[in-house]
Amino acid sequence: MSKNHEFYWRRFHSLLGIIPVGLFLLVHFSINFTATQGVEAYNNAAGMMELIPHWLLLIVEWVVIYIPLLFHGLYGVYIAFTATNNVQRFGTFRNWMFVLQRFTGIFLVVFIAWHIFQTRIQKALGAEVNFDMMAEIVANPLMLAFYIVGILAATFHLSNGIWSFLVSWGITQSPKSQKVATYVTMVFFVVFSVAFVAAILAFV
């Protein structure tokens, strides 16, 4: 892959991480957050998808979710295994964020694939995606821990990905603007991590 082509592929990869993958992640987690309001609230929120015609839902899922997610995940794994990490030599905060971004990305490929198997594929096989399904999944302490780690990995990956997006697209160019973006994205990470971990614990 030429350097010029790789530059554009990486920017496209960064863009997909925010739109539509990042936006979908926030919508998905927001629906899960309704579980903190009770069984009925969550089932009503999850059931809203049933109002969309099946053929249209399939198109939206593949075009807006699965294809962008697949590209972002697979190209992200390629980046993770071809990138040069300088933590031991430089040890800066940004280098550590770089490494954590790659580690969480690889973990999320596994986590998301498993989550899709436990929910979307089971739905295709006749199961109903509702509060009881999620409660049964996280009734296993190991699975609950797996989901909590997955949520933290996802919120960190998105938060730090926003910082990287702002830099790679030339939105934050000065050291000062990048420092401000670091604070904002870390607050984003903490707030959404607390909210979405509370959401998964609502199923327990």
CATH number of the domain that 88 lies in?
1.20.1300.10
**pLDDT at site 84:** 67
**pLDDT at site 90:** 47
Task: Let me know: does 109 contact 153? Beta carbons within 8 Å.
Answer: no
54 annotated to bind ligand:
no
**How far is the C-alpha of 57 from the C-alpha of 135, rounded, in Å?**
25
Give the model confidence (pLDDT) of 27-49 as tens digits.
999 999 999 999 999 999 988 87
How many CA atoms within 13 Å lie on the side-chain side of 163? 25
28 annotated to bind ligand:
yes
Task: Let me know: does 199 contact 29? Beta carbons within 8 Å.
Answer: yes
Sequence-ordered list of residues with C-beta below 8 angstroms from that of 32, at least 6 positions apart, any chain: 42, 134, 196, 199, 200
**How far is the C-alpha of 41 from the C-alpha of 166, rounded, in Å?**
36
**pLDDT at site 82:** 85
- Give the helix/strand (H/E) hosting 53: none
Q: Can you give the pLDDT of all 204 residues of the chain as single tens digits?
A: 566 678 889 899 999 999 999 999 999 999 999 999 999 999 999 888 777 788 888 898 899 899 999 999 999 999 888 876 555 554 588 888 988 999 999 999 999 999 999 998 998 898 998 999 999 999 999 999 999 999 999 999 999 999 999 998 999 999 899 999 999 999 999 999 999 999 999 999
157 annotated to bind ligand:
yes
**How far is the C-alpha of 149 from the C-alpha of 114, rounded, in Å?**
13
5 annotated to bind ligand:
no
**pLDDT at site 51:** 79
Domains in the chain: how many in total? Answer: 1
DSSP H helices, 84-174, are: 93-116, 122-124, 131-138, 141-168
Which residue range is the domain that position 186 belongs to? 3-201
Give the model confidence (pLDDT) of 42-77 as tens digits.
999 988 877 778 888 889 889 989 999 999 999 999
